[in-house]
């Protein structure tokens, strides 16, 4: 996999959002989703004084980005961890507070491009989808063993798939004949199960089901629910966080955490707002920022991206 093909999404905008916090001497920035190291490399390059801590649950990604970031030596610390483990990682490294945090929640290009991982619906591959292939259940096991009601819930909640019931009844019928092992059979089944009208609504009809399975297999939303508030807590005052998400479920979660941090929680009618009710965050983006048309033309994976940023403006009290 050539790393030059990997164009990090909304790179310039992410760097600009984080810049005011990273120009301080001794600043530490965390890349919670290292992937192939595109964002990390750009951070080290643009901010020559900054120290980087980067996490990934995928050992192959760590190996490849380790080679890419080797020229930066001691300035880069790469850690095999899921991003909700950030507080423990910083604790072990003796870093009490950080100045910048970046999340890019897209599936790494490497995982989509490596046929044998089973993330992509465009080519046949074993149905695995685990980001850390040393742990947990594969997508095939989920399809073959989950009760129908649970599969319907997952497709609706994580894939926003309106035809979940149809797809699941076809899956249940087929898995009784022979368990699922490869992606092509699942794609075929979905095509056959959907009514004509549903197939006309743009994109591959299997896309939503594959998204749902990926989120379930990797526990992505529950990890994210813990990770975003934990990351906000690691920011020093003046520190900034930027989050790129790629579907409405992730974006909604990020929006809720940021909005709660930026809210004044004082009971109405107080003449002066006591410190403990004052907002801890300031929003840096109006709603979610979208990629430009030029960027989407250059990198089609940028199309669904949504970027939100926030700045820590005071410590938590109580």
Residues 152/168, Cβ–Cβ less than 8 Å: yes
**What average pLDDT does the segment 273-280 reach?**
87
The Cα-based distances of 279 to 230, 264, 266, 282, 316 in angstroms read: 17, 5, 10, 7, 9
Give DSSP secondary structure letters for 239-287: EEEEEEE-SHHHHHHHHHHHHHHHS--SPTT-SS--GGGS-SEEE-SSS
Statement: the pTM of the whole predicted model exceeds 0.75: yes
Helix (H) and strand (E) counts for the chain?
A: 14, 7
pLDDT at residue number 120? 60
265, two tokens: 């929680």
pLDDT at residue number 110? 42
Give DSSP secondary structure letters for 55-93: EES-HHHHHHHHHHHGGGGGGEEEEE--GGGHHHHHHHH
In angstroms, the first-to-last Cα distance of the chain is: 49
CA angle 199, 205, 210 (to 5 degrees): 165
pLDDT tens per residue across span 143-192: 999 999 999 999 998 888 999 999 999 999 999 999 999 989 999 999 99
CA angle 156, 160, 165 (to 5 degrees): 40
pLDDT at residue number 186? 94
pLDDT at 260 over 80: yes
Q: Residue 317: pLDDT band by 50, 70, 90 thresholds?
A: low
Residues 183/127, Cβ–Cβ less than 8 Å: yes
The strand pair at 98-104 and 28-31 is best described as parallel
pLDDT tens per residue across span 72-111: 999 999 999 989 999 999 999 999 999 999 999 876 444 4
pLDDT at 19 over 90: yes
pLDDT tens per residue across span 197-231: 666 666 678 888 988 998 898 887 888 889 999 99
Residues 248/160, Cβ–Cβ less than 8 Å: yes
Q: Which helix (H) or strand (E) covers residue 112, if one does?
A: helix 109-113
140, two tokens: 């095939």
Q: Which helix (H) or strand (E) covers residue 312, if one does?
A: strand 306-312
pLDDT at residue number 275? 84
pLDDT at residue number 318? 54
Determine the 3-state secondary structure of 38 from DSSP: helix
Residues 117/111, Cβ–Cβ less than 8 Å: yes
């Amino acid at each position: 996999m050539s790393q030059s093909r990997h164009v990090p999404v909304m790179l310039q905008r992410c760097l600009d959002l984080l810049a005011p916090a990273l120009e301080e001497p001794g600043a530490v920035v965390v890349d919670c989703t290292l992937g192939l190291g595109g964002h990390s490399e750009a951070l080290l390059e643009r901010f020559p004084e900054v120290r980087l801590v980067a996490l990934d649950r995928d050992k192959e990604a760590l190996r490849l980005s380790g080679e890419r970031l080797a020229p930066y030596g001691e300035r880069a610390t790469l850690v095999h961890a899921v991003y909700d483990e950030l507080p423990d990682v910083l604790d072990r490294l003796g870093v009490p507070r950080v100045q910048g945090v970046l999340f890019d929640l897209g599936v790494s290009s490497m995982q989509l491009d490596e046929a044998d991982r089973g993330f992509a619906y465009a080519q046949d591959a074993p149905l695995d989808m685990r980001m850390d292939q040393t742990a947990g259940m594969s997508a095939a096991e989920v399809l073959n063993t989950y009760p129908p009601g649970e599969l319907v819930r997952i497709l609706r909640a994580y894939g926003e798939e309106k035809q979940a019931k149809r797809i699941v009844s076809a899956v249940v019928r087929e898995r009784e004949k022979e368990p699922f092992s490869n992606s092509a059979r699942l794609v075929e089944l979905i095509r056959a199960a959907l009514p004509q009208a549903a197939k006309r609504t743009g994109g591959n009809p299997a896309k939503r089901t594959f998204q749902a399975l990926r989120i379930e297999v990797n526990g992505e939303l529950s990890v994210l629910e813990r990770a975003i508030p934990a990351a906000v807590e690691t920011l020093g005052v003046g520190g900034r966080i930027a989050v790129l998400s790629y579907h409405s479920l992730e974006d909604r979660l990020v929006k809720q955490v940021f909005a709660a941090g930026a809210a004044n929680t004082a009971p109405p009618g107080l003449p002066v707002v006591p410190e403990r009710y004052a907002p801890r965050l300031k929003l840096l983006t109006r709603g979610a920022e979208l990629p430009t048309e030029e960027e989407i033309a250059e990198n089609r994976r940028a199309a669904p991206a949504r970027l939100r940023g926030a700045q820590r403006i005071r410590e938590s009290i109580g």
